[in-house]
A and B are shown apart, each in its own frame.
Chain A
Amino acid sequence: MFNLARIIGSRNWNQNFTVNRMAGGYVKGYFVPTVTVLNLDGAIIPHKTRKSVKIPAGDTIEGAIDIYTSTTLMTASQNATLDGTGNLPDEVIWRGDTYKIISEEDFSDYGFNLYAAVRKSSSLADSIVTP
């Protein structure tokens, strides 16, 4: 099988980005994560147009990116309700904006994974709900 990890890791494509990993547990019905900051690398390209959406509350920006990386990012886990611990999807900080991982395509047999992430208005670290 061919392996594309070296292409993904090539300096022609590769760039660094910051990831907020958010594992945690439930406190009185609220999921309260602890943010761990990771520095990872991969290739990032736009997934769709970054555009302004006009709503009564103001003009909001929406957008999405694709991330090709040889490391593993986290989507939402499903076991927090089983054993009390779990995680929210990773947040990717790229060019000053925060994106939340919403999909994963596992090409790890060929040396990389492909993720899609949508823009959030702010990082979770600014808006953690506590009981």
Chain B
Amino acid sequence: MSAYVLTLPQLRGIMWDVTKAITSFPDNQILHAFQPNGQPGFEITQNLIYLNVSPQDDPNDKQQYTLYGPGDNLNATGATTYTTVFSVDFTLYGPNSYDNAVMIKSRILNDDIREIMTNQLVFPVADIPAPRYAPYDFNDQYYNRTDLTVTIYVGSIRTASVPYLQSAAIISIPDVGPQIPFFVEPGGTLPGSGLDFSDPGNSEYIPLT
């Protein structure tokens, strides 16, 4: 299995597709926030959606599962799968901002919309907090604004080569009888063991218990 890891721009793109499918807004009214060079502004009468995707800590992003499979003569393959968790922040402006937020909150769990995500290992969490209506003061006018946050679980797979054991030292230790410690003087012998105790460093021999 090859590696599959979605980049942040890819995730933003998936969530843009999801938002488009839910709202059917024109392309120029579903926008990514924090574009490096900024972007043209908007007017108070327009219904717009700004998207931001950012990583989020979660108990479910700690586990990893590695599945080993055959590789070449020297290596096996290890495919490690894990979950990363992101919060998708929808910032909605315009007279219908709240209604659009409620529509996204509801529709994002429908099968036709989830399919866009699940095909790419993106899974929305059903526990979606209520949208927050937070009008925004600009040029002495309150712009209608509603914030909605949806948590998504994203599956990732990374592969690595795992080398096979090529050789191993095998040491045979003779059965020396009773499992009791005993002592051999330097230069002494232990009948039947074949061990050489002429080296003082080997003078003490304690069988493994």
Contacts and interface: CB of A to CB of B under 8 A. Distances in A.
B41 A78 contact: yes
Nearest to A89: B38
Contacts of B26: 84
A28 interface: yes
Contact of A81 (B12, B31, B35, B51): B31
B13 A26 contact: no
Contact of B13 (A76, A78, A124, A131): A131
Contact of A28 (B13, B42, B46): B13
B16 A80 contact: no
Contacts, number: 67
Nearest to A25: B28
B38 A26 contact: no
Given A28-B13, A30-B32, A88 B27 contact: no
Given A30-B35, A31-B35, A131-B13, A78 B27 contact: no
Contact of B38 (A82, A84, A88, A128): A88
A69 B41 CA distance: 25
Interface in B46-60: 46, 48, 51
A86 B41 CA distance: 9
17 contacts: A27-B27, A28-B13, A28-B16, A29-B12, A29-B16, A29-B30, A77-B41, A78-B43, A80-B28, A81-B29, A81-B31, A81-B43, A81-B48, A82-B42, A84-B26, A88-B37, A128-B37
Given A76-B39, A82-B42, A127-B36, 5 more contacts: A29-B51, A79-B43, A80-B39, A81-B41, A88-B39
